[in-house]
């Protein structure tokens, strides 16, 4: 008789949000290590990861969820492989408990607000997404993404409805995000703060962070301290050194480590993220020199960085950025990768110039195949 598989997800056959919810967590960790090391073997790298830090929470850990609102007013997550179908009243067992609570409130509100729903085929209608964020210190944000109102009356109706949502949800802040395009994305290019300050705050290991509506932030606030501590450990003693944080985002690493370094420089191509990084540096009373530029287009080699943090997006580093790193040959690199396959590809070149001092996986994404991999690379003494 075959063994019956159980899943923490109520709709595992149709929802593609997690993918691994049927696998016991200890086996997930083992599989992630196996997958990482398998990628190294494919690239013929003499490298093995044995150390993986488990997430302190394996359910209700996500601090952000992007819920779809379809043309019939259904609200939830998409069906697996079907962008046009929404599993109504399906939040996610990975979402923070406060997100679950607000999901129920927002879903009820969408059906009673008197606003139209966006049709992704005809491109008419207002309500598109509800993005709900929560922090470990108890603050919450609801971002309602809509199309452009067709006239002033419709604009006034949206504002009135969102004010009502603020009253019934009691979220820390409510933001109206307008998407002026037909692109099916969960963010807009025009923001209106309906209630609160338009931002929420987080505290990770004593470092304060301001999170704006469109800002990227580490998805798992409970495992984020382990990731930050690992990067701090792998950077070594920063006393008297220049720290360069490439792909710095809103300053998650650079701001936290700036107090230890002589000079800290951050580079990030997203202007909104740079604004957040500046606010986060001010919030923590540290000095971080920030540049709004693509890593591959910015001449950072004259900075004379002793330690470089690399935290590229999932597709990995641009070829020129990798070439610049190899040419600059900083004393130490701390590479934070959310895609170990691309990291393995880049290590084929980096291994000729750097030795691996330490390597560790940090599981920021339980019940999914994703994992963060942090590597400390030290310049070869023969160079």
The full 3-state SS of the chain, as one line of letters, equals CCCCCCCCCCCCCCECCCCCCCCCHHHHHHHHHHHHHHHHHHCCCCCCCCCEECCCCCCCCECEEEEEECCCCCEEEEECCEEEEEEECECCCCECHHHHHHHHHHHHHHHHCCCCECECCCCECCEEEEEEEECCCCCEEEEEEECCCCCHHHHHHHHHHHHHHHHHHCCCEEEEEECCCCCCCCCCCEEEEEECCCCEEEEECCEEEEECCCCCCCCECCCHHHHHHHHHHHHCCCCCCEEEEECCCCCHHHHHHCCCCCEEEEEECCHHHHHHHHHHHHHHCCCCEEEECCHHHCCCHHHCCCEEEECCCCCCCCHHHHHHHHHHCCCEEEEEECCHHHHHHHHHHHCCCEEEEEEEEECCCCCCCCCEEEEEEEECCCC
Q: How many CB atoms neighbour CB 138 within 10 A?
A: 10
Q: Are 162 and 194 in contact (CB under 8 A)?
A: yes
25-29, long-range: CB within 8 Å, 24+ apart, which pairs?
A: 25/54, 25/58, 25/366, 25/367, 28/363, 28/366, 28/367, 29/54, 29/363
CA angle 136, 137, 140 (to 5 degrees): 80
Within the chain, which residue ranges are assigned CATH 2.40.50.1070? 64-204
- Find all residues with CB under 8 Å of 337, minimum gap 6, and list them: 312, 316, 343, 372, 373, 374, 375
Q: In 3D, which of 183, 181, 233 has the Cα closest to residue 205?
A: 233
Q: Kindly report, residue by residue over 179-220, the tens digit of the pLDDT.
A: 999 999 999 999 999 999 999 999 999 999 999 999 999 999
Q: Kindly report, residue by residue over 11-52, the tens digit of the pLDDT.
A: 777 887 888 998 999 999 999 999 999 999 999 999 999 999
- Find all residues with CB under 8 Å of 184, minimum gap 6, and list them: 83, 120, 128
Residues annotated as catalytic (active site), given as ranges: 338
Strands 140-146 and 173-178: parallel
Beta bridge partners, 166, equal: none
Rounded Cα distance between 350 and 69, Å, is: 45
Q: Kindly report, residue by residue over 340-356, the tens digit of the pLDDT.
A: 999 999 999 999 999 99
Within the chain, which residue ranges are assigned CATH 3.40.50.150? 29-56+223-379
Considering the four listed CATH numbers 3.20.20.70, 3.40.50.150, 2.60.210.10, 2.40.50.1070, the one that applies to the domain covering 64-204 is 2.40.50.1070
pLDDT at 3: 39
**What's the Cα-to-Cα distance from 205 to each of 33, 282, 371, rounded to whole Å?**
26, 17, 21
Q: Which stretches in the chain have pLDDT values below 70?
A: 1-6, 383
**What's the Cα-to-Cα distance from 247 to each of 56, 278, 336, rounded to whole Å?**
26, 14, 10
CATH number of the 29-56+223-379 domain: 3.40.50.150
> What global pTM score does this model have?
0.93
Rounded Cα distance between 53 and 151, Å, is: 53
pLDDT at 244: 97
């Amino acid at each position: 008789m075959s063994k019956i598989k159980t899943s923490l997800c109520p709709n595992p056959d149709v929802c593609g949000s997690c993918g691994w919810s049927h696998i016991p967590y200890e086996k997930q960790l083992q599989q992630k290590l196996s997958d990482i090391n398998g990628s190294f073997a494919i690239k013929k790298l003499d490298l093995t990861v044995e150390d993986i830090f488990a997430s302190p929470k394996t359910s209700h850990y996500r601090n952000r969820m992007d819920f779809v609102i379809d043309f019939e007013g259904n609200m939830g997550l998409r069906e697996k492989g079907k962008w046009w179908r929404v599993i109504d009243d399906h939040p996610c067992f990975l979402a923070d408990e406060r997100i679950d609570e607000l999901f129920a409130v927002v879903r009820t509100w969408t059906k009673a607000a008197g606003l139209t729903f966006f049709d992704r085929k005809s491109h008419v209608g207002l309500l598109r997404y509800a993005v709900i964020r929560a922090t470990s210190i108890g603050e919450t944000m609801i971002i309602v993404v809509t199309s452009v109102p067709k006239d002033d009356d419709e604009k006034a109706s949206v504002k009135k409805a969102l004010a009502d949502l603020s009253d019934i949800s009691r979220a820390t802040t409510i933001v109206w995000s307008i998407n002026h395009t037909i692109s099916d994305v969960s963010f807009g290019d025009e923001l209106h703060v309906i209630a609160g300050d338009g931002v929420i705050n987080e505290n990770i290991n004593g470092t304060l962070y301001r999170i704006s509506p469109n800002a990227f932030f580490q998805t798992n606030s409970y495992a984020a301290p382990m990731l930050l501590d690992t990067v701090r450990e792998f950077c070594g003693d920063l006393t008297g050194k220049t720290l360069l944080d490439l792909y710095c985002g809103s300053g998650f690493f650079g701001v936290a480590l700036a107090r230890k370094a002589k000079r800290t420089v951050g580079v990030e191509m997203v202007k909104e993220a740079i604004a957040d990084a500046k606010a986060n540096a001010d919030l923590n009373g540290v000095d971080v020199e920030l540049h709004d530029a693509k890593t591959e287009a910015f001449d950072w080699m004259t900075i004379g960085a002793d330690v470089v943090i690399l935290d590229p997006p999932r597709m990995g580093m641009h070829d020129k950025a990798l070439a610049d790193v190899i040419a600059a040959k900083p004393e130490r690199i701390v590479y934070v990768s959310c895609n170990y396959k691309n990291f393995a590809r880049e290590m084929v070149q980096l291994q000729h110039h750097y030795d691996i001092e330490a390597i560790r996986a940090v599981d920021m994404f339980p019940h999914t195949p994703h994992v963060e991999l942090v590597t400390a690379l030290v310049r070869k003494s023969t160079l």
